Amino acid sequence: MSTRVFCRIGLAGVVATCLIAGSAAAQPEPKTDPPMPATETGISVYRQVLKSTAWVHSDRGNGVRATGSGSLIDKSRRLILTNYHVVGNVRRATVFFPVFDGKKVIPERKYYLDRASRIGISGEVVEVDKAADLALIRIDRVPDGVVELPIAAESPEPGQTVHSIGNPGKSGALWVYTPGKVRQVYNKVWKAKLDERTVHTFDARVVETDSPTNPGDSGGPLVNDKGFLVGVTEGGATEAQLLSLFVDVSEVKRLLHRRSVLALRSEDNGSDRPSEKEPAKANREKPLESKDGAKLFTEEGWKKVAPAAERLLKEAKTDLLIETFETPPKGDADKVKAMSASEREKFFREIVRDRVKADKLSGVYLLVCKSPTYLYVDVTEDAGLSSEAAKKLRDSLREALLTNFKEKKFDDGLAKALQLVLDAKGLGEKK
């Protein structure tokens, strides 16, 4: 009976709980030189591979976030390799690279979360292989000092020493090193629980090792003694000890040789210069027209919306659209009132998504319905913000509006919301 590997992505704004492990490709050791001591090899490999390793965040919406690991696999095309289950079906993700204090890496995750809006790099999920649990993210820029991870020519062999780096959610640290030995390389079909409702079947060539992997390591690199990629962390077996799986390097090569991947244009953007995607550019000359259909705000309060929208479009290439409705813009109000909380959330989410798509909105959309009472805040993926910054803005807007609306201070809530959006785009008043 085959061992079943489960992948539990810890959502709700914390860390992805993913059980996954990888594969490694062996390179023959030079016979003319004595082998390097194991400890020194581990240190050397860690220092080398760390410069290519990433921490990946994917925003699943409504404050739900999954995290994992990854590696820069193609610098000229800015491609990050990770697991499909780390990014799921989202279009964009945020990537963090190690920051150094002198020669030492800063491992505390709080350091990165506190600076997410500055050091988090947005990227587009450009390719996925759901069967092999692989994905490629094309990031908007590559920071100075980050290097491309070389790929091994062949898969590893049993008994070979391998090394992995990941970001386990249960650890207080990032960039965690784990050594191991290859047990076997073989083809495997297995099921994994992606979330509370989804079980996915994977079918790929894998590397089985005795490396102790943990949730959050998913998507990270598995390398040989030369620091060459031989696999991608997939997860640990829940019914066995010292048994982890990694997606073999042969599956990585198959993904990279897809026509759609080969067609991706190569750009020499190895520096920390912003790419054309930062910030996202709204393709319009005039801002979208906001409307207070529910008459929630005074004329004086509403006058502040148009100037803010114009400034955001002109200086930050960002849309701002605010719409209030007496009743839902579509559907029967009584039926919406009778909906459960989850049904109502889905109903308004679809309205917002249709509106965003129709107007090609790139930025912030606030929808307020008076009867039944509902507030939906959307910060689009191409708003020029990292997923962390977008989540922070979304949560801040919701809190500011709801707090003031409950006290019937509608103008105050609106003014606070406008200021939050301007601040997020660096257009707030200097204090």
The answer to whether the beta carbons of residues 288 and 309 sit under 8 Å apart is yes
In angstroms, the CA 298 to CA 411 distance is: 7
Q: Count the neighbouring beta carbons within 10 Å of the beta carbon of residue 368.
A: 23
Band of residue 371 on the pLDDT scale cut at 50, 70, 90: very high
- Give percent above pLDDT 70 in the chain: 83
Local structure of 27: helix, strand or coil = coil
> Angle between the 410-424 and 305-316 helix axes, to the nearest 10 degrees?
10
The string of pLDDT tens digits covering residues 398-428 is: 999 999 999 999 999 999 999 999 988 888 7
Fold of 38-262: Thrombin, subunit H (2.40.10)
Local structure of 374: helix, strand or coil = strand
Lowest-confidence pick of 77-86, 140-149, 266-275, 331-340: 266-275
Band of residue 5 on the pLDDT scale cut at 50, 70, 90: very low
Per-residue confidence (pLDDT) for residue 283, from 0 to 100:
60
Mean per-residue pLDDT over the chain, rounded: 84
For the chain, the domains span 38-262, 291-424
257 φ, ψ (degrees, to nearest 5): -95, 5
In angstroms, the CA 407 to CA 412 distance is: 10
Band of residue 195 on the pLDDT scale cut at 50, 70, 90: low
Question: Closest Cα partner for 112 from 172, 70, 72, 66?
Answer: 172
What single letter denotes the amino acid at residue 114? D
What single letter denotes the amino acid at residue 349? R
For the cut 80, the answer to whether the pLDDT of residue 63 exceeds it is no
| Residue labelled with tokens 């809190």 | 399
Local structure of 246: helix, strand or coil = strand
Q: Look at strands 199-209 and 244-248 and give their pairing.
A: antiparallel
For 291-424, the fitting CATH number among 3.20.20.70, 3.40.50.300, 3.30.70.1380, 3.10.310.50 is 3.10.310.50
Mean pLDDT of 229-250: 79
Local structure of 314: helix, strand or coil = helix
The answer to whether the beta carbons of residues 217 and 69 sit under 8 Å apart is yes
For the cut 90, the answer to whether the pLDDT of residue 237 exceeds it is no
For the cut 80, the answer to whether the pLDDT of residue 266 exceeds it is no
